[in-house]
Amino acid sequence: MEISRRLYDELRTGRLVALLAPECPDDCLAAYELLSAHGVILEIALRTDAAEEGFRAVTGAHPDALLLAGTVMTPGQAERALAAGAAGIVSADYVPEVVDLCCERDVLCLPGGLADAGKQLARKAAAYGLSLEELHARHPWQWGYKLFPAFAGTTDNTGLARAWRGPYRDLLVVYTGGVTRDTLPRIAAADTGAVVCASALAAHLDDPERTASEIAHWRAVLAGSEDETAPAAPVRTAVARTAPAHLDGAPGPRLVTCGELMLRLSPPAGVRLRNAGSLAVHFGGAAANVAASVAGFGLEADFVSALPENELGLSARRTLRAHGIGTGAVRAGQGRMGIYYLEHGSGPRPSKVVYDRAGSAFARLQPGDIDWSGILEGAAWFHWTGITPALGDNVAAFLREGLETARELGVKVSADLNYRSRLWTPERAREVMTSLMPYVDLLIANEEDPEKVFGLRAEKSDVEAGDIDVEAYGTLAAGLIERFAFETVAITLRESVSASHNRWSAGLHDGRHFHHSPVYEVPVIDRVGAGDAFAAGLIYGLLSGKEAPDALTFAVAAGALKHSIVGDFNLVDAGEVARLAAGSASGRVIR
């Protein structure tokens, strides 16, 4: 196919690909016109709703444009990208069905990864009915693979390309993932014919002179003529926002959350940790739980965090993506994966949690590690919890950067107190959290955390005994608003009859009135993450334009459903929550 041959030749000669996650179609047109003038191929990531229209905008103005479609993970995405004007398809993984479609159309296809270079070539050859040698000779544009990630923190994967070229001579390797000014010289030294793809090449499209200078620098390094010891510009984790498919096909408000994602290990129900012979594996963490719920409801959700550069980190990242959560601001960092062990309680025996999280990648975050403006620009809401600043002064300072940016950009902010006694003392929590409250619009808490963090207690209530005085919590919420000038305060109210049976409700003060939700009698399958499910339901309700009482009712229903689901994430959709909120609590089979 002529267009595939042209694209392949341009990749071989130009050697630079700029990755763009567009916010609007005009971004694509402007990027193409600037980058193509310097011989740089534009790859448009199918992460936003603007991508497909962006292809059309470019090819409408420039019918001969050679564009790559990136982050293509399904045949349907590939079909739509090609129909919109893409000349080639790039995937983050080896997806056989996408390869088959591209070979059927004879369209350049670049699957990605670290282990499937030969497998995808064999698939391509089989699709054409050719041997590998014949594929290379007759369809050279299919003789390529994307090395992803080229770098993951201190891990350098570029040596794989040499190994692949042993059996697959002249293989075109496109290096992406962790490719920056700092790592570029290492690629150039390892591979004199390397093609590199980086979002950094599209980072300053509003400044043509800076973009031209950056392209010239990258091209010189690849040619071996640039001083590789020259100081590089400060590098922060670049942000590529991702958008899930919405139920109605239209984009909605975008939520950003920040926190640590942990590995959760738990024995079967009824088995003590001390006697466990097997442990079920889940991922969870307060902020990630909220993002997963909101994405499940159909809104965009991005997650700010850090994960280790190992198989656990990769699995965690894939889990986030599988639940529709954007991971463009999840930094690949040094350190380990935080772990917590959960022993499920039953009847009079309470649940028990054991933490093993010291030295995690997230706990090593420092101010300047994330481009907060990049991730929060255009967001409607930013959510965090008290667990994050409790992990260290460096993490608290990192979070404060995000809160300051949110304030500057006019982004609504919610915080869940989430006090953890194993992470800090009440005195330290009070000092740090008080300093962060001026940035908060919506405060969320359970029935006991306001006392532990701020020393404010609901009178006539005994949390340990499960005695809740709703009016007293209304007074407490009003006091928090008066003290910190919050717009809204929401407090979940749990009455623990036993570890297996709770009564669940919540109250919300909107600055004028205190509203109390319906009370649910909930059998407990897994209560971890119920508070996060409530927070997600409340945020979703408010972003969807619900009045405060209705948003509260939706949130409490979401939290009630979480008690029935194993794992941290609340795997329900908005319709299921709405049905329960409307009074459908019989549990009858839906056919």
DSSP per residue, 314-325: HHHHHHHHHTTE
Q: For residue 449, what pLDDT is reported?
A: 93
Other beta carbons less than 10 A from residue 55's beta carbon: 29
Let me know if 356 is a catalytic residue.
no
Among the listed residues 49, 302, 441, 532, the single catalytic one is 532
With H, G, I as helix, E, B as strand and everything else as coil, classify residue 179: coil
User: Could you check whether the bond before residue 149 is cis, i.e. omega within 30 degrees of 0?
Assistant: yes
Identify the burial level of 3 via C-beta atoms within 10 angstroms of its C-beta, where 0-12 means exposed, 13-18 middle and 19 or more buried: middle
Q: DSSP state, 362?
A: G
How far apart (Å, rounded) are the C-alpha atoms in residues 337 and 282?
13
User: What does the pLDDT read at residue 1?
Assistant: 66
Determine contact, residues 194/172, Cβ cutoff 8 Å.
Answer: no
Whole-angstrom distance, CA of residue 516 vs CA of residue 504: 11
Domains of the chain: 2-223 (3.20.20.70), 254-581 (3.40.1190.20)
The pLDDT of residue 244 is 38
**How far is residue 100's CA from residue 122's CA, in Å, rounded to a whole number?**
11
The DSSP call for residue 252 is: -
Distance CA(501)–CA(492), nearest Å, equals 16
Give dist(CA 243, CA 149) in Å, integer: 21
Reported as half-sphere exposure (CB side, CA atoms, 13 A), residue 379 has a value of 31
- In the block, tokens 């300093």 appear at 435
User: What's the pLDDT score for residue 585?
Assistant: 58
pLDDT score at 232: 34
Model pLDDT, residue 559: 94
Alpha carbons 544 and 204: distance in angstroms, whole number? 34
Token pair listed for 154: 């201190």
Tell me the Ramachandran region of residue 106: left when phi exceeds 0, alpha when psi lies from -120 to 50, beta otherwise. left
pLDDT of residue 466: 66
CB 340: neighbour CB atoms within 10 A?
18
Per-residue pLDDT of the chain (591 residues; tens, 9 = 90+): 688 888 998 999 899 999 998 888 999 999 999 999 999 999 999 877 789 999 999 999 999 899 999 988 889 999 999 999 999 999 888 889 999 999 999 999 999 988 888 999 999 999 999 999 999 999 999 999 999 888 877 788 888 888 888 888 889 999 998 898 889 999 998 888 899 999 889 988 888 889 999 999 999 999 886 443 333 333 344 454 444 333 333 456 899 999 999 999 999 988 998 988 999 999 999 999 999 999 999 899 999 999 998 899 989 999 999 898 999 899 988 899 999 999 988 888 888 888 899 999 999 999 999 999 999 999 999 999 999 999 999 999 999 999 999 999 999 999 999 999 989 999 999 999 999 999 999 999 999 999 999 999 888 777 666 678 899 999 999 999 999 999 999 999 998 888 888 899 999 999 999 999 999 998 888 889 899 999 999 999 999 999 999 999 999 999 999 999 998 999 999 999 999 998 765 554 444
| pLDDT, position 233 | 34
